[in-house]
Structure 1
């Protein structure tokens, strides 16, 4: 998967004025379609995220506190699960600031990050080892994208980390990675900043396994507009989360989502299409791809779009 250490600094700079004036840090409307019919249910923010974002640690309320009106037991950071009754998007009510996002992903999967997370989630260190190589399913992504592209496409991976999971890593005319992390790039990839992202230069722009992490996914897609020429294709990929797969089409999922971790947005197919429409993009194709890596199974949802 791509690293979520992508460009979220200046998140609001490409927003329309109404967004720039007052970004919602507690969501009051849908992050995808902007609808205001939201179902709500209490949930908890997982301790690792709560510590990194808010500095909160779990604590136990005991009898020696002498509190009359609070029950004894463990206390965790509270939040709400929200689901849009229009497009079906399911998301955390907290919308983290740039500073909080930086704190959450500082040193993503390095030794310190892994040790701290493993403290709260025993066994995480072993799982993290699986993310160091190229994901096997990327070849299926390439096969799906290839008919839409020239034989040697010019590719930009927006938020691609080292480029290890960038499509067409071994078959391209140009491979750029736009990412704020300092991780070393794989052979053949070139790092570019926003000033080097030139509209019309690319056949394909990829933003894979990123939108589920960000507080304002529409703002990120609008930033990507800088790289999209009239013929450029944009490939967006997100996990098709188990809860969404198991209850396809349900608008009663807020009560079932009891905890939130680093994936703060769960997308339905309709909600992803709404994002494209609001960003001024036209859907070209979409698909669901089962992912079986041996140590885990799942499904990804991909959409291919272009400028309207």
Structure 2
């Protein structure tokens, strides 16, 4: 265990530590990165190896991007060993669900274009999100971190003052305002919402460190991530049970989130696994992890980096 995690965590392209608790006690099993993600993020489409390649010791067939599944035996976190760079994340998420994104994904995953019609409609989970938050605060000034165009932000209009910050800069819906990091740093918020972001990012502690700097002592932070089916009720979870990876590169347990929040300077006020109805955005997940946290200490960017 690394005692001064997260400041000591190596920001490696291929992880050798748990990115939630810093442990190096990791199980490892081979897996593949799904071809849409490897093509879009890394520029590595699959290749058909045939006789024309002239290879003597490698069997012919389809070659995909090989990776590893890592499982932290300390906090039960399950994750892809590839930790995408800023450039790779930009390539993967620029124009998210847009025409170019949709066309490439349809090529590798026939039927996605039809599914995308559902993905670009309001989420059925919003009321669950609102109800959980309203148990802890009645916010008026809100930042949605990673909120896209604001369609699925839980509070907008009707007296709510809602800012949206996202890597994929696009016009936001009425009742919201798109903001830059500079604007965020000079604003104050009662509540920061971060829904379905941490399962995508290579180093969640970095995202939480940036959010931490935007919070006052009385600001609350709401986090929501999928509680993937593989992570629920399996006492024998191992790396070998996850053989492929897509956009969700982090599968969280409650223990992993508790470690992550504590290391990043947050006190957990409430955390739970909540059953949900089927949601196309969450693939096989039938539950979500919901948490409300607040600051417990000052963490500088030097501490995080």
Q: What's the TM-score once normalised by structure 2's chain length? A: 0.89
Give me the whole-angstrom Cα distance separating, in 2, the residues matched to 1:66 and 1:132: 46
User: Which of residues 232, 241, 251 in structure 2 aligns to 1:266?
Assistant: 251
Q: CA deviation at 1:199?
A: 7.3
Q: CA deviation at 1:175?
A: 0.8
Instruction: Show the 5 A alignment for 1:139-158.
Output: 139-150=127-138, 152-158=139-145
Q: Structure 1, residues 214-238: CA drift from partner, whole Å, max 9, x if none?
A: 1111000000012211111101111
What's 1:165 paired with? 152
2:216 is the counterpart of 1:229: yes
Q: Return 5+ residue gaps in structure 2 as ranges.
A: 297-305
Partner-residue secondary structure (3-state), 1:223: helix
Give me the whole-angstrom Cα distance separating, in 2, the residues matched to 1:261 and 1:168: 29
Give me the whole-angstrom Cα distance separating, in 1, the residues matched to 2:221 and 2:50: 53
4+ runs of 1 displaced by more than 4 Å?
A: 15-19, 293-297
Q: CA deviation at 1:57?
A: 1.8
Q: CA deviation at 1:191?
A: 1.7
What's 1:100 paired with? 88
Partner-residue secondary structure (3-state), 1:78: strand
Q: Structure 1, residues 262-303: CA drift from partner, whole Å, max 9, x if none?
A: 111111111011110110100000122222147676221111
Cα 1:200–1:58 shift into 2, 3 Å:
closer
Give me the whole-angstrom Cα distance separating, in 2, the residues matched to 1:294 and 1:181: 22
2:246 is the counterpart of 1:238: no
User: Which of residues 184, 188, 195 in structure 2 aligns to 1:197?
Assistant: 184
2:158 is the counterpart of 1:183: no
Q: Which has the higher contact order (CA 8 A, sep 6+)?
A: 1
User: Which of residues 288, 296, 304 in structure 1 aligns to 2:273?
Assistant: 288
What's 1:138 paired with? 126
Instruction: Show the 5 A alignment for 1:12-31.
Output: 18=8, 23-31=11-19
- How many corresponding residue pairs? 289
What's 1:5 paired with? none
What's 1:8 paired with? none
Deviates more, 1:51-60 or 1:62-71: 62-71
What's 1:119 paired with? 107
Cα 1:46–1:230 shift into 2, 3 Å:
same
Cα 1:227–1:33 shift into 2, 3 Å:
same
Q: What's the TM-score once normalised by structure 1's chain length? A: 0.88
What's 1:301 paired with? 289
Q: Return 5+ residue gaps in structure 1 as ranges.
A: 1-14
Q: CA deviation at 1:118?
A: 0.4
**Kept in 2: contact 1:281–1:307 (CA 8 A):** yes
Partner-residue secondary structure (3-state), 1:302: strand
Give me the whole-angstrom Cα distance separating, in 2, the residues matched to 1:176 and 1:278: 27
**Kept in 2: contact 1:236–1:302 (CA 8 A):** yes
RMSD: 2.0
Partner-residue secondary structure (3-state), 2:286: strand
Give me the whole-angstrom Cα distance separating, in 1, the residues matched to 2:94 and 2:185: 28
